[in-house]
Structure 1
Amino acid sequence: MRPAFWLSDEPVRGELWRDLRAEHHRSGLWPLLMDETDQPWASGQIAPEPVSEIGNYLPHAFMAEVWADWAERAAEEDYDDLAPYGRHCPGPAPPGIPVDDPDAMADRYARVLARRGVPLGLAAVERGADALAAAGWQGALNHNEWTAPLAAVLRSWEDRFGARVVGLGFNTLELSVAAPPVTARHAVHVAAEHWTFCPDILFQGPGTLAGYAEEIRGKTHWTFWWD
């Protein structure tokens, strides 16, 4: 039986992540910088899901479901936090315009993250987005019971924003982004997607879509964390 992922015994340099990422098309192994700040991966608190399940989820449907669930419970004054959309889900944002090659951007961000002194994991997947399900990551368990729908969203971000999964923590996710939103209008639309993916970054952060949109506008890496 194949393990969920392989994990190095020691921290690695970002250059190793780069080299393994470059070999992914031959090896079938996607590298992950595995942050152990909150909990060691060796503790085994993982729940792998079949990668085949990811294709059963549609990002726009997941976004609409999260939005509808929130709108059903929200008070009237809460809608201002999600202006200009309020109770109405806008659907996925249009693609960004690339500012660099996605893999080159990922390699640079890996060098930054590796300075934290983290070990390296390898997941046997065809694309980085699928690593969340294959590795059994449960960082968003308090938001969504299953990881596969989130991986489906990540696949879409890979395609639309040149995103690459670079690092995972117990309840964190690090992405490089080669085609970020650069206009205020586009950024707030992308922010709406981020909110349905990870509500904590908004409600325990700037508090409004507009405020969060300014944080991600033009930014070439996205960090998510779940309480």
Structure 2
Amino acid sequence: MATLPNPLPDPAAAGLDLPPGSLVDATLDGPWHEPLLWYADGAADQGDWAGLRAAGRRVGLLPVLVTGGQRDQWPEAWDLSPDSASYPGDHDPEEVLAGYWTDYADDELGDGANAAPADGANGEPGDGASGAPETGSGTGSGSAGAWPGLAPVPAREAAEDPDTAAAGIVAVVAGDADLWLGGTRMALVPARRSADIPAAIGWTGAVNHENDVARLCAVLRSWEDRYDARVVVLGFDTMIVSVGRPPATMEEARALAAEHYAFCPDNIDQSPPYDLDAYAEKAVLDQDAWSFWWD
């Protein structure tokens, strides 16, 4: 994929004074021709993000937290495959999501379990008639229904700058990382925008769902535009996104939950209560961070 000139081969020449760390060029096919990322040797500190972001952005680098997870797998062991990543800007996010919806939703959501109740025998509308995109017919037809389309931009205004919101999530994660992530470290990646970070390093954490991570990045770009989202954490098969402008109503949350399902079906299919409406309420509505994992 197209990138800015990479300053990582000689950070000092680019004016970067980085703490001790590692340059990663390990891929599935052997060493890459240049470093894909730098990450620190030591645990992330809550105050590191702003400084690294300011220093890195000047030379085309963006920060992200990396985690080894419970299996202690750091980026050298992530099976990176930059050759497999195209350019995010070449993909239409709605086409990408609609394709995933067609591939997965009928199989997993097509039993009507997540749908609005069908009209009653007396002809009155069921309680679920909310105007939100339907994830099933509610009639036991076995179909999850057509792709409902992209969710609208939330009506609420953002409370703060998206990068400030991202720094707040990073502070929370870095401060509590050992309890649930197995530790985090600061990293810098040559990328134009936060949404492109997974493609820039050839991340393969979602390979069982999508072979070309740039297609997922196209969706992340759309979330940047609509929800002030930023990619703030990457692990071997996990991702956390900060959200500066989350849905504020259940209608908005349900619409976005359909996108989340298409983007990462495992979030619903393999996570109790296995229900899209419950996911919308608990994981999307008013949430300032979204977590994803792929089996």
Task: With the length of structure 2 as denominator, give the TM-score of the two structures.
Answer: 0.72
Tell me the equivalent position of 1:174: 240
Alignment correspondent of 2:50: 18
Which amino acid is 2:294 matched to?
Answer: W
- For residue 207 of structure 1, what is the aligned residue in structure 2? 274
| Gapped regions of structure 2 (runs ≥ 5) | 1-32, 117-133, 137-144, 178-182
- Asked which structure has the greater RCO (Cα within 8 Å, sep 6+), the reply is 1
Q: Give the CA RMSD over aligned residues.
A: 1.9
Cα distance in 2 for residues equivalent to 1:41 and 1:75: 34
Return the index of the structure with the highest Cα Rg: 2
Report the alpha carbon displacement of residue 73 of structure 1 after superposing the two structures with TM.
4.5
> Who is 2:88 aligned against?
54
Give the C-alpha shift of residue 24 in structure 1.
4.4
Q: CA 1:73/1:114 → structure 2, altered by over 3 Å: closer, same or farther?
A: closer
- Secondary structure in structure 1 of the residue aligned to 2:135: coil
**Between 211-220 and 50-59, the greater mean CA deviation after superposition:** 50-59
Where do 1:76-155 residues align within 5 Å?
A: 76-77=110-111, 79-81=112-114, 84-86=134-136, 87-96=145-154, 97=156, 98-115=158-175, 116=177, 117-155=183-221
Change (3 A) 1:187 1:73: closer
Distance, in Å, in 1 between the alignment partners of 2:270 and 2:222 is: 25
Larger mean Cα displacement after TM superposition, 17-26 or 105-114: 17-26
The answer as to 2:100 corresponding to 1:66 is yes
Deviation at 1:75, TM superposition (A): 8.1
- SS of corresponding position for 2:42: strand
Structure 1 residue runs of 5 or longer lacking an equivalent are: none
Tell me the CA shift for residue 71 of structure 1. 5.0
**Matched residue SS, 1:222:** strand
Q: 1:93 to 1:49 in 2, by over 3 A?
A: farther
Q: How far did 1:51 drift?
A: 7.0
Q: What does residue 221 of structure 1 align with?
A: 289
More helix by share: 1
Q: Which amino acid aligns with 1:62?
A: V
Q: Do the aligned residues in 1 keep the contact of 2:228 with 2:244 (CA within 8 Å)?
A: yes
CA shift, 1:113, in A, is 1.4
**Structure 1-normalised TM-score?**
0.92
* Alpha carbons 2:199, 2:217 under 8 Å: kept: yes
Q: What is the number of residues matched between the two proteins?
A: 226
Contact between 1:124 and 1:134, CA under 8 Å: does it hold in 2? yes
Instruction: Kindly provide the amino acid, as one letter, of the partner of residue 113 in structure 2.
Output: D
The answer (yes or no) to whether the contact 1:81–1:207 under 8 Å persists in 2 is no
Contact 1:187–1:217 (CA<8 Å) still a contact in 2?
Answer: yes
Alpha-carbon offset, residue 137 of structure 1: 1.2
Per the TM alignment, residue 82 of structure 1 is displaced from its structure 2 partner at its CA by 5.6
